[in-house]
């Protein structure tokens, strides 16, 4: 605390006065000047009280300023995230095949998180993660992801970079820290064949498994350049077919419950 320039400026001169008065008071007492030494003692007590008051006020002011700065930083983050959400929505709207995709993925990720028992704050963050999961696609040339046929190997290698690009863009936002792994790893698969980290099994964060199911479900139930949409129940069955090698079975069954699909014959093991 004494290293802070404001507190040092307040405390140092008062301490010097206190030490000087204490020396004088001791000298007076040694010479037998009782009344004068008592008077100086009273002054010392008064100055000590003033010192405590000034330090208390300075510390309170610093705490208040620190709180104000933190609130301003949080508000700036909220505005930045709001702008990013609008940018992503406008980007999606450029192509009829992707219009509304990110918003729908966000809502479904939030609903699945609720069904899987995640806390309310995490569910809210999962909605944001869903809305921003493809933010990195803004850095990918449009002619690659808007192709009306399946992309080739070279183009797909470029497109795969969008996960890490999004992660890097959002990493400075402290409020999104709990769901950044979901954004980075939403294309991982349970058998380790996904990207960008080739993670497998329990190494894939639960939030990423949820986002992967929500993302794939929305892609299956909406037209894409290379295929037509399928029904909700058919999408659930397709996701089940890809379990447990591709998707987390527990997350897929949470989706089945959410869309009212018939229950699977074999119940999945709970996700970690």
**Domain-located, residue 264:** no
Answer yes or no: is 267 within a domain.
Answer: no
Confirm whether 85 is domain-assigned.
yes
33 pLDDT band (50/70/90 cuts)?
Answer: low
* Rounded Cα gap, residues 8 and 246, in angstroms: 62
Q: Do residue 115 and residue 248 come from a single domain?
A: yes
17 exposed, middle or buried (CB, 10 Å; 0-12, 13-18, 19+)?
middle
What are the b/e assignments for 118-146, b being 16+ CB within 10 Å? beeebbebbbbbbbbbbbbbeebeeeebe
pLDDT in tens, 72-103: 888 889 989 999 999 999 999 988 889 999 99
Residues 82 and 100 in one domain: no
Structure tokens at 33: 């000047």
Half-sphere exposure of 142 (CA within 13 A, CB side): 6
Average pLDDT for residues 222-240, to the nearest whole number?
Answer: 94
The residue among 93, 108, 137 that closes a domain is 93
Same domain, 71 and 143: no
Residues 104 and 86 in one domain: no
Confidence of residue 162 (pLDDT cuts 50, 70, 90): very high
Do residues 84 and 113 both lie within one domain? Answer: no
Report the domain count for the chain. Answer: 2
What domain range is 8 assigned to? 1-93
Same domain, 250 and 150: yes
Residue 30 has pLDDT above 70, yes or no: no
Quick check: is 182 in a domain? yes
Of the two residues 129 and 14, the one the predictor is more confident about is 129
Q: What is the model's pLDDT at position 155?
A: 86
For 235, the 3-state DSSP assignment is: helix
Confidence of residue 145 (pLDDT cuts 50, 70, 90): confident
Write down which residue in 72, 93, 114 finishes a domain: 93
| Structure-token pair, residue 130 | 């869903």
pLDDT the model gives residue 270? 46
Q: For residues 121 and 209, state if they share a domain.
A: yes
- State whether 161 and 250 are in the same domain: yes
Mean pLDDT of the chain: 84
Between 41 and 133, where is the model more confident?
A: 133
More confident residue, 68 or 128: 128
């Amino acid at each position: 605390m004494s290293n802070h320039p404001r507190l040092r400026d307040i405390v140092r001169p008062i301490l010097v006065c206190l030490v000087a008065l204490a020396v004088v008071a001791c000298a007076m007492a040694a010479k037998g000047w009782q009344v004068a030494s008592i008077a100086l003692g009273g002054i010392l007590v008064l100055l000590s009280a003033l010192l405590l008051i000034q330090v208390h006020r300075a510390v309170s002011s610093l705490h208040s300023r620190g709180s104000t700065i933190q609130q301003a930083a949080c508000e700036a983050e909220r505005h930045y995230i709001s702008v990013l959400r609008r940018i992503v929505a406008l980007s999606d709207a450029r192509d009829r095949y992707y219009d509304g995709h990110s918003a729908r993925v966000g809502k479904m990720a939030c609903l699945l998180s609720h069904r899987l028992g995640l806390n309310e704050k995490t569910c809210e963050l999962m909605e944001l993660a869903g809305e921003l999961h493809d933010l990195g696609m803004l850095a990918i040339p449009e002619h690659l992801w808007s192709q009306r046929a399946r992309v080739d190997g070279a183009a797909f290698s470029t497109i795969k970079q969008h996960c890490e690009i999004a992660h890097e863009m959002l990493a400075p936002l402290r409020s999104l820290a709990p769901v950044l792994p979901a954004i980075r790893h939403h294309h991982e698969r349970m058998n380790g064949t996904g990207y960008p980290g080739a993670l497998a099994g329990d190494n894939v964060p639960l939030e990423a498994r949820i986002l992967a199911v929500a993302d794939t479900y929305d892609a299956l139930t909406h037209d894409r350049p290379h295929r037509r949409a399928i029904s909700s129940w058919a999408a659930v069955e397709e996701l089940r077919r890809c379990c447990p090698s591709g998707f987390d079975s527990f997350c897929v069954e949470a989706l089945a419950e959410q869309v009212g699909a018939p229950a699977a014959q074999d119940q999945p093991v709970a996700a970690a």
